[in-house]
Amino acid sequence: NGNIEYYSKTMEKLDNLLYKKLGYMYFLRKIISKYSDIIIIGGSMFIQYKGWENKYKFYQELINEKTCIIGVNFGPFYDNAFLEKYRSLFEVASLVSFREKKSYDFFSQLKNIQYKPDVVFNLYNEKKVNKKNKIIGISV
């Protein structure tokens, strides 16, 4: 479809190499420049881990006034520098919708922040489950 474009892991890896050498993410900027809106549908995307600064640089390239971030949570994190960096980044976005209250509370003073419980976990399912069978679901 001409209205939707995906940023693949291969593109991300190439952009990371380009960023280290040139300070520029070619593929990401190319995609962003084509569209009036960018929607990020997340999950556990904003976690402080060793080397988190690289992922932050990626989000700095991606998040701007035409970006909506939906269904994410924030953390765990270990210091206020991480929190404050993302606070200033989220402030730029058009919308940030957190899926759980704890994350929302960290940023609730920003005007573009919402709390909307996780859509997938709150779907009502009328399908009857056979309790005799053991079923496990895995999300990758």
All structural domains of the chain with their residue ranges: 37-122
Angle (CA) 60 121 83, round 5°: 30
CA distances from 127 to 90, 134, 135 (A): 38, 16, 14
For residue 140, pLDDT beyond 50: no
**Whether the predicted model's global pTM rises above the 0.85 cut:** no
Identity (one letter) of the amino acid at 134? K
| pLDDT tens per residue across span 77-131 | 999 999 999 999 999 999 999 999 999 999 999 999 999 986 666 555 555 556 6
Mean pLDDT of 18-44: 86
**Which pLDDT does position 12 carry in this prediction?**
84
